[in-house]
Amino acid sequence: MKLTTANHSRDVAGLRYVYPVLSRRSGGLSIGINFNTNNACNWRCIYCQVPNLKLGAAPQMDFEVLEKELRFFLDYVLNRNFYQDFQVDESNRVIKDIAISGNGEPTSLIEFDRAITLIGDIATEMGVFPASRFVLITNGSLVHRAEVQKGLKKLNQYGGEVWFKFDSATEEGRHLINHAGQSCQLSLRNLKLSAELCHTKLQTCLVDYEGGGLLLSEREALLNLLKKINGDVRLKEILLYTLARPSFQPEAVRLERLSIEVMNEFADQVRQLGFTVSVSV
């Protein structure tokens, strides 16, 4: 089987928690950790590629299985035939990061901080950290919880970083795109908390909904929000991306990816505010 950027199956390696990805945003091999093996999330983003997504939290973690799988898989990549078995191009034969992402909101895991510590310790012991990044991909909705903050402090100790989702700066856009119950104001508060606890990047997925392109109202709201937080939040990097794979949500037929021209135009506007911006299409 050939691993490509179009295949982000959590089952590709036949494991419960660990899976490999060729990531556009990471720029190479990312080892994913899926806490939400029950396909449960507290948001429902209309571009989400998780099938049978349901409302809920991550199930209880089997830490013994997670440790066994992660040790096995890192050894497979570092010392055995992973790259040959998955036909990975020579240019991608390096671990860019270990990313906690998966099929739902990972910070909903009970004992979240324990999982961060386990992954960090194993990756350090096996020589993956600090050369590779330790990434948490999150919608940020639970950062106000003490146990999540404890986990972010641990993540920071391993030199990790948070990729904090912020797709819309309007209440209407958040409801449409993310089905998020949390207001922009509360999300901003959590973003500031995250940035104080761990190196944080803001990630924004921009999509064309029903042929509307990147709406002027959404564009201006995002730019105004970034102006507002610049200097107030320890945030210097913005990750912009658009659709790469089909959504498994009911709105899929209404979604299109944005063109590279539109993405780059918006990226330039964000750069003018003083942020570093990367674009993935």
Query: Which residues sit opposite 276 in a β-bridge?
Result: 237
Q: What does the pLDDT read at residue 3?
A: 65
Length of the chain measured in residues: 281
Q: Hey, what are 232's tokens?
A: 């107030």
Which domains does the chain show, CATH number per domain? 18-280 (3.20.20.70)
- What burial class does residue 254 get, using C-beta atoms within 10 Å of its C-beta: 0-12 exposed, 13-18 middle, 19+ buried? middle
Task: Tell me the C-alpha distance between 21 and 12, whole Å.
Answer: 9
Task: Tell me the C-alpha distance between 192 and 173, whole Å.
Answer: 21
Q: What does the pLDDT read at residue 242?
A: 95
- Answer with the residue of higher pLDDT: 102 or 46: 46
Chain centroid to CA 256: how far?
A: 20
pLDDT at 8 over 50: no
Q: Residue 210: left (phi > 0), alpha (psi -120 to 50), or beta? A: left
Average pLDDT, integer, range 130-152: 97
CB 248 within 8 A of CB 48: yes
- Answer with the residue of higher pLDDT: 81 or 267: 267
CB 113 within 8 A of CB 151: yes
pLDDT at 218 over 70: yes
Q: What does the pLDDT read at residue 91?
A: 84
Q: What does the pLDDT read at residue 167?
A: 97
Please tell me the least confidently modeled range out of 3-7, 19-23, 62-66. 3-7
List pLDDT tens digits, range 49-78.
999 999 999 999 999 999 999 999 999 999
Amino acid of residue 151: G
- Reported as a pLDDT band with limits 50, 70 and 90, residue 10 is low
pLDDT at 11 over 70: no
Q: What does the pLDDT read at residue 24?
A: 67
Share of the chain above pLDDT 70, in %: 94
Average pLDDT, integer, range 206-228: 95
